[in-house]
Chain A
């Protein structure tokens, strides 16, 4: 089977891509996408470690991923709602413009 480091490398690559996207893209939604990607990279890591870990019987990895996915979904929902309300307020979603710290 493919060794564990391969998966780890893949997840780190995905993580970096997500981070790059989040950092570079102007659009808030794309940033959110990047974050989603990062979260998924982490989930991949969990499953990889569970799969190649010491005792697979204890399915902590899977549990973690399940809860992580649930939370990520909730987070995505709230994030997008925020972005929509920001859009309504700022008439733009370009993050560079949205930098007022005032309430």
Chain B
């Protein structure tokens, strides 16, 4: 067992130790906190690289190397619950990605949070989050996975609600936590069901009977639920709900845009790169359950995968449409994240683990870049988040503008140079070849179009035209003071690094040289330039290029040509003269009223239930308790009355009676002989009478 596998736990343990150290120290040492966090993260990054290197030198068989280290956690009844961690290409890739991105964001946030009073607390939460995320990545047991998953949820809540004095931040944190919770509950049910069927939660076991392995899966494939549904499909669906909650798929995506209330590095770290990716990583990790065929089990049904694909496609289009009508710079990026996550789910659903993961990795980098760019823009524009109040920022913040442009082009999928193009193309290509239905493919294409469109809209809004910042709000005097200014070096350097990676990463997964796919899946796909010109690949490549071009042109046509002047001016798309477009735009502006819908239904229902419960409690149980109280009081009254009237009086009467009886009897003993004789006479007569009647009767 190589030392790296044994000591794999060190990677999450180090940031956890840092968080603990920072939490324990009484007085807030800003420098100490930052140094600790960044130091431990750097060390974890190095360890991740070692792990990655270890997984690189695959054995001769070309089978992906998977080493597992399990240990008994506690004994419950007959069987013991085991935990453990696994090192395989999937883990390695994620380890490297998460640690590298976290490191960069930590460095960035030292600059961004410099003026904030709770600097140390921020860094404590950050390192806690990083530790949790790394724990999720290396977990070999669904239970450990779930534990770290919850820790991640907790830290996202803490970070979103970091500026808890802002009510909207607190509400957003709460909303995020609750929505992910709903997903987690369903995920938990799935886990329980899995445990009941597989009798173990370990993914991979040295003895070969982990829940993702052939023996267990083949056993579970045979089982069907009452509804006729395959057990694996059921478990898969439940786990997918958990993932949907965390990755912000359609029904549970509402918390992600509101999560922008947190500081921008938080958004960047959590809502771009890592946490939201956790959902996709979960599906990738438990992929054999969704598609038993991967593990070599025949007869498994892939219904769950189709569901994943469909949900992904729908989310992609849905989020993209909303993003088009947003005015807040971070909210647009949030919806774009949701859309891209939809694409990843689609990729997983249609293409498989490699396709989804490749898009995840690439998206992580350029979305982090975009968010950090947005952060520096906001920082520069003096905490101004509304794009309508910005404009002309390219003059003031050239480095940010350049990095942001690279990120925008990667995101929208500008061909060849940018990673987004290759990963999204892989997805579209897979969707195109998807046998089940071709609708997701079309949805995917439309989503790509919209992505390109709203990114260009944002670019023109923020960077093109003249600066609309602060002019009308503060009048004339401080015009100069509100000029946007470039962010300090500590913030721009991570931007540049990320930009480089946004470009470089694409080349690893191109059809021509699918190194990434081979690395992940272990089988050797054909490589070489010729691949590019294969008819189907060529078709999808050209199609996506056309789509991106159309999106860019459309964006320039609407927003680039005549730059937006006044801040308050309605959006171009609003088009007050065209009623249909206007209504559509207002719908999109208001996020298709999904929040209002939830508000109207679930929350009201919840409120109603609460009221009903409180009402029930107040009127029903309360009255019952009161009734019981009164009953007892009544009983006590009855008791008192009984005691007083019956027993006391009865007793007194009894005593009186005894006294009376005593007196009566005493009168018998008069002492006069004749009285006694008289009594004897009467008794004699009575006895005689009795005898006579007695005898005659008998």
Find out whether A and B make contact in their complex, taking CB atoms under 8 A apart as touching: yes
Q: Does A19 contact B (CB under 8 A)?
A: yes
B671 in contact with A22 (CB, 8 Å): no
Whether B670 sits at the interface, judged by CB under 8 Å, is yes
**Is B674's CB under 8 angstroms from A101's CB?**
no
Question: Is residue B677 contacting chain A, with contact meaning CB distance below 8 A?
Answer: yes
Q: Which residues of B contact A101 (CB under 8 A)?
A: 669, 671
- Asked if A99 contacts B670 (CB within 8 A), the reply is yes
The reply on A9 being an interface residue by CB < 8 A is: no
Is there an interface contact between B678 and A96, defined as CB atoms closer than 8 Å? no
CB–CB A95/B673 < 8 A: yes
A96 to B681, CA, bound (A): 19
Q: Assess whether A31 is interfacial by the CB under 8 Å rule.
A: yes
Whether A100 is near chain B, meaning CB under 8 Å from some CB there, is: yes
B176-195: CB near A (< 8 Å → 1, else 0) gives 00000000000000000000
Beta-carbon contacts under 8 Å, A14-33 to B:
19, 22-24, 28, 31
Contact in complex: A23, B669 (CB < 8 Å): no
**Inter-chain contacts of B669 with A (CB < 8 A):** 101
Closest Cβ–Cβ distance, residue A24 to chain B (whole Å):
8
Assess the A100–B671 pair: CB atoms within 8 A. yes
CB distance from B358 to the nearest CB of A (A): 125
Identify which of residues 22-50 in chain A touch chain B, using a CB-to-CB cut-off of 8 Å.
Answer: 22-24, 28, 31
- Is B165 on the interface with A (CB-CB < 8 A)? no
| A83-99 vs B, Cβ < 8 Å mask (1 yes, 0 no) | 00000000000011011
Assess the A19–B681 pair: CB atoms within 8 A.
Answer: yes
Residue of A with least CB distance to B671: A99
A11 CB to closest chain B CB (Å) equals 14
Question: Contact flags (1/0) for A64-103 with B, using CB distance below 8 Å?
Answer: 0000000000000000000000000000000110111100
Minimum CB distance partner of B680 in chain A: A19
**Interface membership of B672, Cβ < 8 A:** yes
Residues 645-671 (chain B) with a chain A CB within 8 angstroms? 669-671
A99-B677 in contact (CB<8A): no
In the bound complex, what is the Cα–Cα distance between A9 and B670 (angstroms)?
33
Complex Cα gap A19–B670 (Å): 19
- Bound together, the chains give a CA A101 to CA B668 distance in angstroms of 12
A28 to B670 Cα, complex, angstroms: 16
Measured between C-beta atoms, what is the minimum distance from A22 to chain B in Å? 6
What are the interface flags for B672-686 relative to A under an 8 Å C-beta threshold, 1 for contact and 0 otherwise? 111001100100000
Q: Which residues of A contact B673 (CB under 8 A)?
A: 28, 31, 95, 98
When distances are taken between beta carbons in the complex, the residues of chain A under 8 Å from B678 are 23
Q: State A24–B672 Cα separation when bound (angstroms).
A: 12
A22 touches B672 (CB 8 A): no
Determine if A95 and B681 form an interchain contact, defined as CB atoms under 8 angstroms apart. no
A2 to B673, CA, bound (A): 38
Contacts of A98 in B (CB 8 A): 671-673
A31 partner residues in chain B, CB cutoff 8 A: 673-674, 677
Q: B681 contacts which chain A residues (CB < 8 A)?
A: 19, 23
The secondary-structure label for the interface of chain B is helix
Chain B residues, Cβ within 8 Å of A22: 674, 677
Decide if A23 touches B677 in the complex (CB within 8 Å): yes
Residue of B nearest to A102 (CB): B671
Residue of B670, B671, B678 contacting most chain A CB atoms (<10 Å): B671
Q: Complex Cα distance A24/B677, Å? A: 10
Q: Restricting to B555-583, which residues have a CB under 8 Å from any CB of A?
A: none
Q: Shortest Cβ distance from B683 into chain A, in angstroms? A: 12
On chain A, the residues within 8 Å of B671 by CB distance are 98-101
User: A8 to chain B: closest CB distance in Å?
Assistant: 13
Residues of B within 8 A of A96 (CB): 672
A31 to chain B, nearest CB (A): 7
Please name all residues of chain A whose beta carbon is closer than 8 Å to the beta carbon of B674 when the two chains form the complex: 22-24, 31, 95
A22 and B678 CA atoms in complex are apart in Å by 9
Give chain A residues whose Cβ lies under 8 Å from the Cβ of B677.
19, 22-23, 31
Interface code B206-238, partner A: CB below 8 Å = 1, 0 otherwise?
Answer: 000000000000000000000000000000000
Q: How far is the CB of A70 from chain B (nearest CB, A)?
A: 23
Residues of chain B with a CB closer than 8 A to A23's CB: 674, 677-678, 681
Instruction: Give Cα distance in the complex from A96 to B673, angstroms.
Output: 8
> Given the complex of chains A and B, what is the CA–CA distance between A100 and B670 in angstroms?
8
Bound complex: CA A29 to CA B681 (Å)? 19
Among residues of A, the one whose C-beta sits closest to the C-beta of B681 is: A19
Question: Least Cβ distance of A96 to chain B in Å?
Answer: 6
Most buried by A among B670, B674, B678, B681: B674
Alpha-carbon gap, A95 to B675, bound state (A):
10
Q: Which residues of A contact B670 (CB under 8 A)?
A: 99
**Complex alpha-carbon distance, A99 and B670, angstroms:** 7
In the complex the two chains form, what is the Cα distance from A90 to B503 in whole Å? 146
In whole angstroms, what is the CA distance A67 to B459 when docked? 151
A26 to chain B, nearest CB (A): 9
Complex alpha-carbon distance, A14 and B83, angstroms: 119
Alpha-carbon separation in the docked complex, A68 to B328 (Å): 138
Residues of B within 8 A of A100 (CB): 671
Question: Which chain B residue has the least Cβ–Cβ distance from A26?
Answer: B674
> What is the distance, in angstroms, from B215's C-beta to the closest C-beta of chain A?
109
Residue of B nearest to A28 (CB): B673
A19 to chain B, nearest CB (A): 6
Chain A nearest CB, measured from B518 CB (Å): 130
Cα A68 to Cα B111 in complex, Å, equals 140
| B533 CB, min distance to chain A CBs, angstroms | 144
**B678: nearest chain-A partner, CB-CB:** A23
Report the separation of the CA atoms of residues A101 and B672 in the bound assembly, to the nearest whole angstrom: 9
Which of A31, A95, A98 has most chain B Cβ within 10 Å?
A95
Interface-central residue, A24, A98, A99, A100, by most chain B CB under 10 Å = A99
> What mask results when residues 297 to 341 of chain B are scored 1 for a CB within 8 Å of chain A, else 0?
000000000000000000000000000000000000000000000
* Min CB–CB distance B167 → chain A (angstroms): 101
Q: Give bound CA distance, A99 to B666, whole Å.
A: 13
Residues of B within 8 A of A99 (CB): 670-672
CB distance from B675 to the nearest CB of A (A): 9
A25: nearest chain-B partner, CB-CB: B674
| Nearest CB of chain B from residue A34's CB, rounded to whole Å | 9
Across the interface, which residues of A come within 8 angstroms of B672, CB to CB? Answer: 95-96, 98-99
Q: How far is the CB of B671 from chain A (nearest CB, A)?
A: 3
Interface pairs (26), CB distance under 8 Å: A19-B677, A19-B681, A22-B674, A22-B677, A23-B674, A23-B677, A23-B678, A23-B681, A24-B674, A28-B673, A31-B673, A31-B674, A31-B677, A95-B672, A95-B673, A95-B674, A96-B672, A98-B671, A98-B672, A98-B673, A99-B670, A99-B671, A99-B672, A100-B671, A101-B669, A101-B671
Kindly list 10 other residue pairs between chains A and B, CB separation below 8 angstroms, not including A22-B677, A28-B673, A98-B672: A19-B677, A23-B674, A23-B677, A24-B674, A31-B677, A96-B672, A99-B671, A100-B671, A101-B669, A101-B671
Q: Which 10 pairs between the two chains have the least Cβ-Cβ distance?
A: A99-B671, A99-B672, A101-B671, A23-B674, A23-B678, A22-B677, A19-B681, A95-B673, A23-B677, A95-B674
